[in-house]
Structure 1
Amino acid sequence: MKSMLTSLMLLASGATMAELPPIDPPPPPPQSVPAEQLPPVTKPKANKAVGEPEVRIIEKADATIAEYRMNGRLYMMKVTPKVGAPYVLYDHEGNGQFDRIDGADSGGARLSVPQWTLFSW
């Protein structure tokens, strides 16, 4: 019984291979175009929203403040006091009101999901 089943499987697989259509030959390579006929190459315009943020560092007597701006809008401040743990003030809603985010080691850490601007009109 096993040998009959095996021979049927081999016969069926050979029949499917015999029915494949022939492969067409590949198309000829394209003709080369002289450089004078090619359109001019233009560089894409840089989008300032995609670049790195502007960072301004302010030294005070009791702390160092790093202001992070994107497109001229202040969205985050990192405050490093002379005495104590550093913390971050972050504008989550974009309305100018900053929320304090303490370091992860202090137990008061808040998850900050990346919020990149992909498109703006």
Structure 2
Amino acid sequence: MRIALPFALTLALAACATAAPEAMLPENAAPATRTEANGDVVTEYRVGDRLQMVKVVPFRGATYYIYDRNGDGRIDEKDSQGGPLTYYKLFRW
């Protein structure tokens, strides 16, 4: 029971977080998509010259998102302070 309750709460929260990460971006965020040599598709979302988010669709594997957490327009190691830098979408229905 001690393990089941936290697990159930985690699943409930994951079910609530079904909004697409792109929905959290400002309306004027301009996407720029490129395909890497290894087959990965990388989409950068910028507002003006500031990078807001990067969406990576690997050739193999799950799609993941990288955010600029400190608002400086660059994604770097400073963004990882205070929480995870990379987000994976685990469930979709």
TM-score, length basis structure 1: 0.42
Q: CA deviation at 1:65?
A: 0.2
* Greater gyration radius: 1
Q: CA deviation at 1:84?
A: 0.3
Look up the match of 2:61. Answer: 84
CA–CA separation in structure 2 for the residues paired with 1:64 and 1:55: 12
CA–CA separation in structure 2 for the residues paired with 1:56 and 1:88: 14
Look up the match of 1:102. Answer: 88
CA–CA separation in structure 2 for the residues paired with 1:80 and 1:51: 22
Q: Which whole-Å deviations, capped at 9, do the CAs of 1:60-99 have from their partners, x for residues lacking one?
A: 1220000000021011000000000010000121132351
Q: Which structure has more strand as a fraction of its residues?
A: 2
TM-score, length basis structure 2: 0.53
Look up the match of 2:5. Answer: none
Out of 37, 49, 59, the residue aligned to residue 61 of structure 1 is 37
Look up the match of 2:14. Answer: none
Q: Which whole-Å deviations, capped at 9, do the CAs of 1:1-36 have from their partners, x for residues lacking one?
A: xxxxxxxxxxxxxxxxxxxxxxxxxxxxxxxxxxxx
What stretches of structure 1 of length at least 5 have no aligned partner? 1-49, 106-121
SS of equivalent residue, structure 2 residue 70: coil
CA–CA separation in structure 1 for the residues paired with 2:88 and 2:27: 26
Letter in 2 for 1:54: A
Look up the match of 1:28. Answer: none
Look up the match of 1:38. Answer: none
Q: Percent identity?
A: 29
CA–CA separation in structure 1 for the residues paired with 2:88 and 2:68: 14
Q: CA deviation at 1:51?
A: 4.6
